[in-house]
Structure 1
Amino acid sequence: MAFPQRKNIKEEKRQQLIIVGSKNPVKINSTDIGFHQAFDSAFLVEGLNVSSEVSDQPVGDEETYLGANNRAKNAKLVFPEADYWVGIEGGVDEVNGEMHAFAWVVVLDRKGKTGKAKTATFYLPSVVTELVKGGMELGMADDQVFSRENSKQGNGSVGILTKGVVNRKEYYSQAVILALIPFLNESIYN
């Protein structure tokens, strides 16, 4: 007697579409890693070039958060058929004359729920800080100081300064997971 074959429950779930408000491969991969670690679901993660509507190098929590939020909202406007929209924006700020770097992550879903989180911060060397204060974007300053090319689409400052111990994908993916807390705990988050 032949028994009917059991279907894999994971295969029966509909693949959900996530749109990242950037074509930067680090942001796309970080989102992919974060969603797959947080949920037992099938996801397709795609990037879209959308405006952050803030400075090329955001300064301070407010401007950096606004950039991430705008990226998520603008991705939703451009591609409303998705299930989630993600904005990731890196920024800098000064404390007592020293500059630190960080990023904000904003996640939106179809139901109108928003998740948000900030990465850990780390201080930048003065040679990089001076270039950023002079109007250069952090990624370009890193490229100049560390003789790199397009480091913002690679390991970025965090990877360069930690000598690869902390890679940028993991750094951002942790914040993506933290931004997913409201979606993992829907009954206690409005």
Structure 2
Amino acid sequence: MKIIVGSVNPVKINAVREAFLKYYKDFLVEGIKVDSFVHRQPKNYETFEGAENRALELVKINNTEMLQADFFVGIEGGIMKHVDKWFAFGCMCIIDKKMNKSFGTSPHFQIPDEVAARLLAGEELGEVMDEIMKMKNTKQNLGAIGFFTNGIMDRTQLYVPGIITALIPFNHPEMFFEENKL
């Protein structure tokens, strides 16, 4: 089985590998850089669009280059407003070779108002966290979640539950996908 992830970020590739290992044993995971066609820092439902766009771009590449992949995974980090607070989260879109599609999300975690204001002004969470953490490329390591949990959870661990929940329909296709409905 072959799984293509719409990113070359090792955090996203490793999260997909970890999540799929819960259900499958023999597979290959490959990352391909694709565009999300959304803002650099997506907000609200635009995050879902970004994840879906990444997965759909992978389908196109698969068909053009005959990669023979079984699953296409788009992951997009974004922010969403709940109860008057801003939360960061990851959205996952998985499409299979039959074009069945599903979504999942990581846990949502609250971000400080000051950070949210910078994101709403156009900055990207990774850049803001690089500055706060005095590190480079934190989004390919601990990420904001690593900082705010004092290292208890990293970005890979944050994304795994979202991928697992996005796999639910593929584990019960008779309940979710038309051609398989009882």
Answer whether TM exceeds 0.5 for this pair.
Answer: yes
Residue type at the aligned position of 1:152: K
Structure 1 unmatched ranges of 5 or more: 1-15
Question: In the alignment, what sits opposite 1:79?
Answer: 62
- Runs (4+) of structure 1 moved beyond 4 Å? none
Question: In the alignment, what sits opposite 1:68?
Answer: 51
Kindly state the Cα deviation for residue 183 of structure 1 after the two structures are TM-superposed.
1.0
1:186 aligns with one of 165, 173, 176: 173
Q: Which SS does the other structure have where 1:74 is aligned?
A: helix
Q: Does 1:43 align with 2:30?
A: no
Kindly state the Cα deviation for residue 96 of structure 1 after the two structures are TM-superposed.
5.5
Q: What TM-score comes out, normalization by structure 1 length?
A: 0.86
Kindly state the Cα deviation for residue 132 of structure 1 after the two structures are TM-superposed.
1.4
Residue type at the aligned position of 1:23: V
Q: Does the CA-based 8 Å contact 2:105-2:161 persist in structure 1?
A: no
Question: In the alignment, what sits opposite 1:122?
Answer: 109
Residue type at the aligned position of 2:10: P
Structure 1 residues 189, 102: closer, same or farther in 2, change over 3 A? same
Kindly state the Cα deviation for residue 134 of structure 1 after the two structures are TM-superposed.
2.3
Q: Which SS does the other structure have where 1:175 is aligned?
A: helix
Q: Does the CA-based 8 Å contact 1:116-1:179 persist in structure 2?
A: yes
Give deviations 1:28-79, integer Å, cap 9, x for gaps. 000011111122x31100000111000010011x200000000000011112
Q: Which SS does the other structure have where 2:107 is aligned?
A: coil
2:125 aligns with one of 97, 115, 138: 138
Q: Distance in 1 between matches of 2:122 and 2:83?
A: 19
Percent of aligned pairs with the same amino acid: 37
Question: In the alignment, what sits opposite 1:158?
Answer: 145
Q: What TM-score comes out, normalization by structure 2 length?
A: 0.90
Question: In the alignment, what sits opposite 1:29?
Answer: 14
Q: Does the CA-based 8 Å contact 2:3-2:69 persist in structure 1?
A: yes
Question: In the alignment, what sits opposite 2:100?
Answer: 113
Structure 2 unmatched ranges of 5 or more: 178-182
Q: Which SS does the other structure have where 2:22 is aligned?
A: helix
Give deviations 1:122-160, integer Å, cap 9, x for gaps. 111233223212211000011111212101111111111
> Which of the pair has more CA radius of gyration?
1
Q: Does the CA-based 8 Å contact 2:107-2:161 persist in structure 1?
A: no
1:58 aligns with one of 31, 42, 55: 42
Question: In the alignment, what sits opposite 1:17?
Answer: 2
Kindly state the Cα deviation for residue 106 of structure 1 after the two structures are TM-superposed.
0.6
Q: Does the CA-based 8 Å contact 1:128-1:145 persist in structure 2?
A: no
The RMSD of aligned alpha carbons is: 1.3
Question: In the alignment, what sits opposite 1:3?
Answer: none
Kindly state the Cα deviation for residue 97 of structure 1 after the two structures are TM-superposed.
4.8
Residue type at the aligned position of 2:39: S
Structure 1 residues 95, 181: closer, same or farther in 2, change over 3 A? closer
Q: Distance in 1 between matches of 2:81 and 2:99?
A: 33
